[in-house]
Amino acid sequence: MADSGAETIKLLTDIPRVHARGRGDRVAVEFEGRRLTYAELERRSNQAAGLLQALGVKPGDRVGWLGKSCEAWYEIMFGAAKARACLAPINSRLAIPEIVFILKDSGADVFFVTPDFFAAAEAVTAQIDRPIRVLAVNGEHPGFESYAARRDSAPAPALDAPQPDDDVLQLYTSGTTGLPKGVRLNNANYAAFLALRHQVEGFDYAPDDTVLIVMPLFHVAGTNISYAGLSAGGPLIVMADFNPVEVLRLIEQEKVAHIFLAPVMINVLLQTPQAKTTDFSSLKTVSYGASPISEAVLKAATETFGCGFIQFYGMTETCGAGTTLAPSEHRGELMRSCGRPWATLEARIADENGRELPPGGIGEIEIRGPIVMAGYWNRPEATAETIRPDGWLRTGDAGFMNEDGYFFVHDRVKDMIVSGGENVYPAEVENAILGCPGVADAAVIGVPDERWGEAVKAIVVPAPGAEPDPEQIIAYARQRIAGFKAPKSIDFIEALPRNPSGKVLRRELRKPYWEGRDRNVG
């Protein structure tokens, strides 16, 4: 079903303007009982634009955000875009030195902060040698200005027409392999995203579909699902944090139609007792991505939720777009695939020199199209390393394409384990382990081995109340994958370290085993 006003929504800034005119009294964003209609979103985002201009923000400037997801994020994001500035949300799970680095790197002089991070904002701004205007969002702080008060008294904005090359969102990479890099996403990128999503099965949301946002708004999955729901003219329900019991309650009570979940979230929901009695009949789609998912978890989820599942494969550097596995394609061997490219996008498998490999060849997945970022902020060398001169973006993921054009991801290129001259990809081994009785979660790493160079080790999280036997786990895996890929040893852990998108921080798991040695990959 086409969006209400789909013909006129071409840029992100069109969303509140068009729907204020056609669906002004409909709820745009609901957060903890507070409801923001489309008319209010248009008015408040204009006020936010006027506030930013009054604070000296100019086109091209970055605007900082540190906080929980809430309705004000949307006011400020659209307001910044209208002022031709760029919102730069900061991962709220980072340490103070990392936040300091990002605020310095972005050059943002205006910084919006929610109450949970007031102390962090104090610590951060104390370490920056330029004036920072800090505005408190949804709370009061004696040393910060009130966003609501400044917004409501702001002068009318002087709005110029947005330009295609205006950066509208700067999302920082997680920094698991070094200092975070600011990914510049501009109006042209998101114009392509808004146009292309209508051609993705299950992603063409209807105007009255309720969309539940549980991914953080410093992550491309949180922003993209938000933009899809809002461009359709439907209501978003936004959660500050992922709470599995509350997610299940909202799905049933609010008749949620669409949700994006990282695989770890899907696994947690399946293990939540209330999932057995929740009414999932309103769900049309569960989208997932951002990290690998096991076949066992995906099969259990499709049976439990009873709706269409959409896998999205992409990167922050591609606006989260790339390939998709549609609901109708979740069958048989394709359950292990990340699908085929979105319409008008290209994907390929390439060797180290950028030569395209034939079907079946294992190499690096590369993506090309109008959704590829404008580049990394202040990082021309890193941009050149990631985007080839002919426009192909190197994802850093290893995989292959089959004869029918479906792509299969093995793992991050740097996470590959080389054991006795054989390449082993952790995700493939994890997939073989995760169906084993007594196993709730697992990650696979390479550890030093005098004979083989590296040996495959599994780090396993036992299911509640279970005490799985290591030899049984190894035997279970050997029935499903080649012997050289199966883990040679098992260690147990209470929980796996993950970044906000759900990716396992394998470097943290590897660290104690490689102490004093030279392996140090992402």
In this structure, what token pair is assigned to residue 483? 């012997």
Task: Please state whether beta strands 308-314 and 86-89 pair in parallel, antiparallel, or not at all (unpaired).
Answer: unpaired
- CA dist 430 and 434 (Å) reads 6
In this structure, what token pair is assigned to residue 265? 């979230």
With beta carbons less than 8 A apart as the criterion, state whether 287 and 310 touch: yes
With beta carbons less than 8 A apart as the criterion, state whether 38 and 26 touch: yes
With beta carbons less than 8 A apart as the criterion, state whether 41 and 66 touch: no
- CA dist 82 and 84 (Å) reads 5
Mean pLDDT (10-residue bins), the chain, 522 residues? 58 97 96 97 98 98 98 98 98 85 96 97 96 97 97 96 96 67 97 94 95 95 96 97 97 98 90 96 94 82 96 94 96 92 96 94 96 96 94 92 93 74 78 91 89 88 94 92 88 90 84 72 40
Answer yes or no: pTM beyond 0.75.
yes
Cite the DSSP H helix spans in 213-258: 220-232, 244-253
- CA dist 272 and 268 (Å) reads 6
What domains sit in the chain, N to C, each tagged with a CATH number?
6-192 (3.40.50.980), 242-412 (3.40.50.12780), 416-513 (3.30.300.30)
312-323 as b/e, with b when 16 or more CB fall inside 10 Å? Answer: bbbbbbbbbbbb
For residue 484, what pLDDT is reported?
81
For residue 519, what pLDDT is reported?
46
For residue 177, what pLDDT is reported?
45
- CA dist 106 and 83 (Å) reads 17
For residue 426, what pLDDT is reported?
85
In this structure, what token pair is assigned to residue 244? 């599995």
For residue 6, what pLDDT is reported?
45
User: Tokens 């992922």 identify what position?
Assistant: 242
For residue 381, what pLDDT is reported?
94
- CA dist 449 and 452 (Å) reads 5
